[in-house]
Amino acid sequence: MVDTTTRIAVIGGGMGGLTAAIALTKIAGVQVTVFEQADQLGEVGAGVTVAPNAARVLDRLGVLDRIKQLGAVPDGHGVYLDAMGGMVTDAAWEDSAKQYQNIGMYRPDLISALAQAVDPDTVRLGHRLSSVETVDTGIRVRFANGMDDVVDAVIGADGIHSVVRNAVDQHPEPVYSGYIVYRGVVDASRLPADWPMISQVWMGNRRHFMCYPLQQRKLFNFVAGIPSDRPLNGPWSGPADVSELAAEFAGPDWDPQLQHFIGLIDKTFWWGLFDHEPLTNWSRGPITLLGDAAHTMLPHQGQGVNQAIEDSMALATFLAEADDVTDIPEAFRRYTAVRMQRTAILQNGSRRAGAMFDAQYEFADLTKRDADIRVGRDFRRSAVFDYDAQKVAEHALNRFRKVVQFT
């Protein structure tokens, strides 16, 4: 294991960056400093699902119980519905062993739960990264506020518009998908008493709408995917008028129950959906990437945050094998080799899931779409939810040991 004086900078204090800080401290035993550009830790008030594959990681890191206290476990499997509310199939919500379930989390609550497990003295707020530079004594990170620091290694958890990514390689910028999403929450007390406490997805007319419970069922999250050229003509996110969202699901072709839910929304924001082709390289020397910085993906499989959490466990597992700072580049290369395969599959799978939900391309035949969604349900449980990031990393380490030892 690297010396406890080894210093690693995590750029980005979001869900991936904070999980990385926890894992690197507990598993690799290094000194971590988290640099966050915002003046306080937080997230826009919408929801995210902690899936079983990430819940397994968070359990081993000792934070799952707190997350369960703040989140909401649904009553059972979710459902995929057609535009009028007809059943297409149920949706997997647990791993095969039924040990871990989907947990609906209000994003600020998830940030809070993770932040509680990080030493507050190691978090630097108001630090927007300007540059990353290799120097004789390590890696220098410079910030827009005039501060700088020299560390032994840098982990870029700085999201879709990552500065660290450009220090690794000249990767292309993420590409707009042609879709925006409206997001927000509804006070659950306003819903009908018999409203199902599960995730529901309505699909039709090149758009879809999803909702699920959060915060011990006090809130309901919603996400609506709509085709739009808006990000091509201006900003990629911003506040939205609820009437815009309502108009997208109005008329006799949409389920009145869905329209009733939309009628309870009093505030929403929109985001452009971007992703990029799987990157060919995440690491350069003692610099590597994690989460959206490494594998920006569409949200249609709900795996963006969950893959950042898997990354964190894998990275800490590989780094714990290093003997000193000179081994860090090799640890990062091994981490990259293993994680790039996993996330590339899910990046492409998320695109395909979106095409199914919105009946795009070959899925315009709704019979084929519905059949593919039913098949995908079982694949999702076995290939996504059952995945054990720590065990996969440990098995990879055993293979690496047979080929070459750390120098």
Q: Is the pLDDT of residue 171 over 80?
A: no
Q: Is the pLDDT of residue 235 over 90?
A: no
What local confidence, expressed as pLDDT, does residue 396 receive?
92
Confidence (pLDDT) at 403? 67
β partners of residue 344: none
Instruction: Give the three-class secondary structure for 123.
Output: strand
**H-assigned helices in 117-228:** 164-168
User: Which pTM value belongs to this model?
Assistant: 0.94
Q: How many CB atoms lie within 10 A of CB 182?
A: 23
Q: Tens digit of pLDDT for each residue in 61-101?
A: 999 999 999 999 999 899 999 999 999 989 888 999 999 99
* Distance separating alpha carbons of residues 62 and 250, to the nearest angstrom: 45
pLDDT at residue 361 tops 70: no
Q: Residue 18's closest CA among 103, 108, 139? A: 108
- pLDDT, tens digit (0-9, with 9 covering 90-100), for 251-301: 999 999 999 999 999 999 999 999 888 898 999 999 999 999 999 999 888
**Arithmetic mean of pLDDT over the chain:** 91
Which strand (E) or helix (H) includes residue 274? strand 268-275
- Residue bearing tokens 């900003």: 235
CATH 1.50.10.10 corresponds to the domain 7-42+117-174+281-403: no
| Higher local confidence (pLDDT), 366 or 140 | 140
Separation of alpha carbons 161 and 26, rounded Å: 28
For 34, list phi and psi in degrees, rounded to 5: -100, 125
H-helix segments, 61-163: 64-70, 107-115
pLDDT in tens, 88-140: 989 888 999 999 999 999 999 999 999 999 999 999 999 999 999 999 999 99
pLDDT given for residue 349 in this prediction: 85
Stretch among 47-51, 249-253, 308-312, 400-404 having the lowest mean pLDDT: 400-404
Helix 15-23 vs helix 107-115: crossing angle, to nearest 10: 20
Spatial CB neighbours of 61, under 8 Å, sequence gap ≥ 6:
19, 22, 23, 26, 117, 313
Catalytic hit among 80, 106, 182, 212:
212
Residue 201 pLDDT > 90: yes
Distance in angstroms (rounded) separating the CA atoms of residues 71 and 201: 20
At 362 the pLDDT is 62
Sign of the torsion formed by the C-alpha atoms of 190, 44, 210 and 263? positive
Average pLDDT of the residues in 226-239? 85
Residue 208 C-alpha from the chain's centroid: 20
Residues 38/42/48/50 CA torsion (nearest 10 deg):
100
- Residue 313 is encoded by which pair of tokens? 């466990």
The pLDDT > 90 percentage for the chain reads 74
Average pLDDT, integer, range 198-206: 92
Examine the pLDDT at 407 and tell me if it is beyond 60: no
Active site residue 179: no
Q: CA angle, corner 326, sides to 320 and 332, nearest 5?
A: 55
Is the confidence at residue 37, as pLDDT, over 90? yes
Question: For the residues 353-360, what does the mean pLDDT come to?
Answer: 73
Return d(Cα 218, Cα 45) in angstroms, integer.
Answer: 14
Q: Is the pLDDT of residue 178 over 60?
A: yes
Flag whether pLDDT at 406 surpasses 70. Answer: no
Q: Is pLDDT of 174 > 70?
A: yes
pLDDT at residue number 343: 96
